[in-house]
Structure 1
Amino acid sequence: MILVTGGAGFIGANFILDWLSLHDEPILNLDKLTYAGNLDNLRGLEGDSRYIFAHGDIADSQWVGGLLALHRPRAIVHFAAESHVDRSIDSAEDFVQTNIVGTFRLLEVARAYWSRLEGESAAAFRFLQVSTDEVYGSLASSAAAFREVDRYQPNSPYAASKAAADHMVRASHKTWGLPVLTTNSANNYGPYQFPEKLIPHMIVAALEGRPMPVYGDGLQVRDWLYVKDHCRAIRLVLETGRPGETYNVGSGDGKPNLDVVLAICHLLDELRPTLELGGYRRLITRVADRPGHDTRYAIDPAKITRELGWKAEQSFESGLRQTVQWYLDNPVWLEAVRARIHIA
């Protein structure tokens, strides 16, 4: 069995769905079900004996320890995190509690569990930390893409909290030998993403005829990674990655935010045309830049390609088309998400 934390969220849910489409090995999903946790993402697994859901907090050490003792997973894949930069600027404490304290307590419980395993079970156990490229900070336009050996220089409370969690993961390996793995991925997009993030937020705003807000000049560059490519990388790292190692997962598909928004408008003009003059791009609105907005992220995936044979299969164009089509095809899911919490 695999234990997944945060499996009702965007990337975690995609990972679980992909895993169970490929494997018969069961998954235990631990999720606190905060605002972005959505069991509708996994509704298709109802009645599937390979899937178990446990509602609770990863910071509850006694509860998590009991689940480990009962289900005896061979690995923990740790997705659970507060992840929205804007929210971390407004209220950083939730990010400290979940991303730092929660990860620390999960590591402590995992270490205690692992220490009681014997023989092949102990040797095979893995703890995989799913992290972000934002821990590396911001890149100049001419700078080389982030590599695993680059220094952490987080610029937002979110990035700082993930950096702290990554350091605790590393320390657990260096100090006690816990067999950990870390992945730092580029910006993910795809099905089931909560519509506060750039791509789904813009799709929803456009479909409703509302302003599509772009921060500042819109020239902030991000490396965009289709979520199913990311899930495939995580599966590969889990099975063949070297304990103690970090693997950067990126597509090399760097795009300015404004270009991303324009591409969404172009696809919607094709797939859901409007009679309004100027099409959807007329809705693009510039707003004041957010504090500490990083100029550029770029991930160098050379290590995971060289050592594990992974590379992104979806281009940004193909992945974005699939994503826009998914949101057009799933209005019930989207309306249910929007009914749970106001999204401006």
Structure 2
Amino acid sequence: MIIVTGGAGFIGSNLLAGLEARGHGPLVVVDFLGHGDKWRNIAKRSLADVVAPAALPPLLDRHASNITAIFHMGAISATTETNADLIVATNIRLTLDLWDWCTCHEVPFFYASSAATYGDGREGFDDTFSSPALARLRPLNPYGWSKHMVDRRLCTLVEAGRPTPPRWAGFKFFNVYGPNETHKDSMRSVVHQIHPIARQGEAFALFKSHHPDYADGGQRRDFIWVEDIVQVMLWFLETPAPSGLYNLGTGTARSFADLASAVYRALGQEPRITYRDMPETLRPRYQYFTEARMDKLREAGYRQPFTALEEGVRRYIQDYLEQDDPFR
């Protein structure tokens, strides 16, 4: 049995599809579904169970001898969330509890960290797993801080020689785009936000730059196609790779103008881009540049190439967003 927390979410549901396609299972989803269409993210999967997060502890006790891996993707992922107490309970406490459970029961454990831990990027994007390296990072929001605190705590335990799960990895996801993100509202990828505007032949307004080193639309991020993320996580499940904390991006930063242009061209149109002021509340916490250093993953043995931005956007638009059923 493989448990995927946040399994009805964006990355979690894509991971489920990958696990099912490779014959892994039984698969159990731990998540909130709510009143919207989030359930459609998992409607095509063959699942052993779907349980609310509050039911996770008894589920673990009941199936302790049958659980072969836990993928902990569940979190409050909104970088704009300001309720730090809620973030602590959801993002920090549950991750540490699952780490302890997997250690005690000798179950492989894989969890979602984030590129938000790097803050404004002044300290670079090096996924070195050491207390001095992690201590230099300054996340810009409570979400990034919560992921960073977990990374630092686990690093402390590992460096102290404390017991760990038999195999484990934390993944610092960069800017992921792909199917099954409709439920994320304002936190949807920019591809998803641009698509309905572009398909009507209208111009999409990107944020203006409020940084002298970046032109409007020239803010750069490491955008990564969700299927690349899934393939890396499956590789860690199926391969005795070194445990540790790993960046998960492409290693190449591209501008938001590049991303927007790719959306229009995937629809057979010339780009139509305008610019609007960034909200003042967002400006102090905005990342103008992210680019994953991918040396560590490559040195661990992962050899698959990452999908180019234009190709990933084309697949997303043509294979999902332009279809009657856009869910994976």
Q: TM-score, normalised by structure 1?
A: 0.77
Measured at CA, do residues 144 and 29 of structure 1 come closer, stay the same or move farther in structure 2, by a change above 3 Å? same
Q: Which amino acid aligns with 2:191?
A: I
Q: Secondary structure at the match of 1:23?
A: coil
The yes-or-no answer on 1:185 pairing with 2:173 is: yes
The yes-or-no answer on 1:200 pairing with 2:182 is: no
The one of 281, 288, 297 equivalent to 2:272 is: 281
Corresponding residue for residue 213 of structure 2: none
Corresponding residue for residue 126 of structure 2: 146
Distance in 1 (alpha carbons) for counterparts of 2:35 and 2:223:
24
Q: Which amino acid aligns with 1:63?
A: P
Aligned residues: 305
Distance in 1 (alpha carbons) for counterparts of 2:248 and 2:194:
25
Which shows bigger deviation, 228-237 or 34-43?
A: 34-43
Aligned-CA RMSD value: 2.9
Measured at CA, do residues 97 and 215 of structure 1 come closer, stay the same or move farther in structure 2, by a change above 3 Å? farther
Q: Secondary structure at the match of 2:152?
A: helix
Corresponding residue for residue 208 of structure 2: 216
Give the Å deviation of 1:92.
Answer: 4.2
Which shows bigger deviation, 176-185 or 208-217?
A: 208-217
Deviations 1:288-308 (A, max 9, x none): 242310121111111211222
Q: Give the gaps of 5 or more residues in structure 2.
A: 210-216
Corresponding residue for residue 212 of structure 2: none
Corresponding residue for residue 17 of structure 2: 17
The yes-or-no answer on 1:254 pairing with 2:234 is: no
The yes-or-no answer on 1:297 pairing with 2:290 is: yes
Distance in 2 (alpha carbons) for counterparts of 1:25 and 1:80:
19
Give the Å deviation of 1:267.
Answer: 2.5
Give the Å deviation of 1:76.
Answer: 0.7
* Structure with greater proportional helix content: 1
Which shows bigger deviation, 325-334 or 76-85?
A: 325-334
After the TM superposition, which segments of 4 or more aligned residues of structure 1 sit over 4 Å from their partners?
34-37, 171-174, 208-211, 241-244, 331-334
Give the Å deviation of 1:200.
Answer: 0.8
Whether contact under 8 Å (1:237, 1:308) holds in the other structure is: no
The yes-or-no answer on 1:3 pairing with 2:28 is: no
Which shows bigger deviation, 155-164 or 145-154?
A: 145-154
Q: Give the gaps of 5 or more residues in structure 1.
A: 115-121, 274-278, 335-344
Measured at CA, do residues 104 and 307 of structure 1 come closer, stay the same or move farther in structure 2, by a change above 3 Å? closer
Whether contact under 8 Å (2:113, 2:173) holds in the other structure is: yes
Measured at CA, do residues 35 and 317 of structure 1 come closer, stay the same or move farther in structure 2, by a change above 3 Å? farther
Distance in 2 (alpha carbons) for counterparts of 1:60 and 1:145:
37
The one of 305, 308, 321 equivalent to 1:312 is: 305
Give the Å deviation of 1:242.
Answer: 4.6
Whether contact under 8 Å (2:179, 2:326) holds in the other structure is: no
